[in-house]
Amino acid sequence: MILLQWRASNDLNPRFPPTYPMPQEPLVEIRDLNFSYDTRTILSGINITIPRGKVVAIMGSSGCGKTTTLRLIGGQLKPTSGSVKVAGQVVHELDAKQLYALRRRMGMLFQFGALFTDMSVFDNIAFQMREHTDLPEAMIRDLVLMKLHAVGLRGAHNLMPAELSGGMARRVALARAIALDPMLIMYDEPFAGLDPISLSIVGELIRKLNDALGASSIVVTHDVQESLKIVDYVYFVSEGKIVAEGTAEEIKNSKTSYVHQFVWGEADGPVPFHYPAKKTYGEQLMESGVYRG
Partner 1 sequence: MDKVYKAGAKVAQFLQFLGNAVTKRIFRLGFAARFFVAIFLQSGTAFRRFNLTSREVYFSGVLSLIIILVSGLFVGMVLGLQGYDTLQRYGSTEALGILVALSLVRELGPVVAALLFASRAGSAITAEIGLMKATEQLSAMEMMAVNPIARVVAPRFWGGVVSMPLLAALFSAMGVLGGYLVGVKLIGVDEGSFWSQMQASVDFQKDILNGVIKSFVFGIIISWVAVFEGYDADPTAEGVSRATTRTVVTSSLAILAADFILTAFMFTGA
Minimum distance, C-beta of residue 87 to partner 1, in the bound complex (Å):
14
Using CB under 8 A, which of 57, 58, 106, 151 touches partner 1? Answer: 106
Minimum distance, C-beta of residue 275 to partner 1, in the bound complex (Å):
21
Determine the size of the site formed for partner 1 (CB under 8 A).
19
Within 10 Å of residue 39's Cβ, how many Cβ atoms? Answer: 5
271 contributes a contact to partner 1 by CB under 8 A = no
Ordered strands of the 241-246 beta sheet: 106-109, 184-188, 216-221, 55-59, 233-238, 241-246
8 contributes a contact to partner 1 by CB under 8 A = no
DSSP line for 219-253: EEES-HHHHHHH-SEEEEEETTEEEEEE-HHHHHT
Stretch that binds partner 1, among 6-14, 80-88, 127-135, 231-239 (CB under 8 A): 127-135
Near partner 1 in 55-94, by CB under 8 A: 74, 76
Using CB under 8 A, which of 94, 114, 248, 271 touches partner 1? Answer: 114
Closest by CA to 262, choosing from 235, 231, 229, is: 235
* CB-based contacts of 189, cutoff 8 Å, min separation 6: 67, 111, 220, 221, 222
- Which one, 105 or 207, has the nearer CB to partner 1? 105
Minimum distance, C-beta of residue 56 to partner 1, in the bound complex (Å):
18
127 contributes a contact to partner 1 by CB under 8 A = yes
Distance CA 26, CA 244 (A): 20
Residues that bind partner 1 (CB under 8 A): 74, 76, 100-101, 103-104, 106, 108, 110-112, 114-117, 127-128, 131-132
